[in-house]
Amino acid sequence: MHGLIYRAIECFVTDSYGPEKWAEAAALADLGFVEFEPMLIYDDVLAPRVIAAVGTVLNRCEADLMEDVGTYLVSHPNTEGLRRLMRFGGVSFVELLHSLDDLQDRARLAVSDLILPYIELHEYSATHFGLICGTSIPSFGHVMMGLLRTMADDYGVLALLEFEGGAQGMETVSIRLVETEFAEGRRFALGAGAL
């Protein structure tokens, strides 16, 4: 698994709870090191150990922990770039949802050896969607729930997201749009200096 993915979990812990908590989790996971190198490839077997160790240190279940990681990825000041990249997916939240099918390819444009889990959006109606997520990253569906809840707020949309479970290497997230103009969305401009 790409070091950027492990590094995202590490940064979530250090930015949210402090470097001491991360050091404790790294020791509990028996990594043999404290920091992941973002551009290295690590063995996939580390992921469940790291997630379990962080969950133990923070006293959080895996689902809640990974949803918080998804929220962190698009809401923390240190990850503003990712939020901006997500906003390029569309001028509306629905357009953003439809752009998720291309997320793997867009990620590889930025980092050629970064392989994200499979993602496919199903549109059941104008207000009901299903997001199918591969599980090459444990609990990736929960990561996407946190990320999409935060992005819905960013667009000013009231959306209900529910984890519907998984089977055979896939997880499903139900997305229901309750109100597309619930609140004023967060300001977004194409140029970084325009903020």
Phi-psi region of 30 (alpha: psi -120 to 50; beta: other; left: phi over 0): left
* pLDDT reported for residue 186: 61
How many other CB atoms are found less than 10 A from the CB of residue 138?
Answer: 19
> For residues 88, 91, 96 and 98, what is the CA-based torsion angle, rounded to 10 degrees?
-110
Architecture of the domain defined by 92-187: Alpha-Beta Complex (3.90)
Closest CA to 8 of 104, 155, 191, 147: 147
pLDDT in tens, 11-31: 999 999 999 999 999 999 999
> Rounded to the nearest 5 degrees, what angle is found at the Cα of 5, between the Cα atoms of 69 and 50?
75
pLDDT one-digit tens code per residue, 98-109: 999 988 888 888
pTM beyond 0.75: the answer is yes
Give the per-residue pLDDT at 140: 93
Q: What is the pLDDT along the chain (195 residues), one digit of tens a residue?
A: 899 999 999 999 999 999 999 999 999 999 999 999 999 999 999 999 999 999 999 999 999 999 999 999 999 999 988 888 888 788 899 999 999 998 888 888 888 888 889 999 999 999 999 999 998 888 999 999 999 999 999 999 999 999 998 887 899 999 999 977 655 666 655 555 544
The domains of the chain are located at 3-60, 92-187
Mean pLDDT of the residues in the chain: 90
Amino acid 66 reads M
d(C-alpha 104, C-alpha 186), whole Å: 25
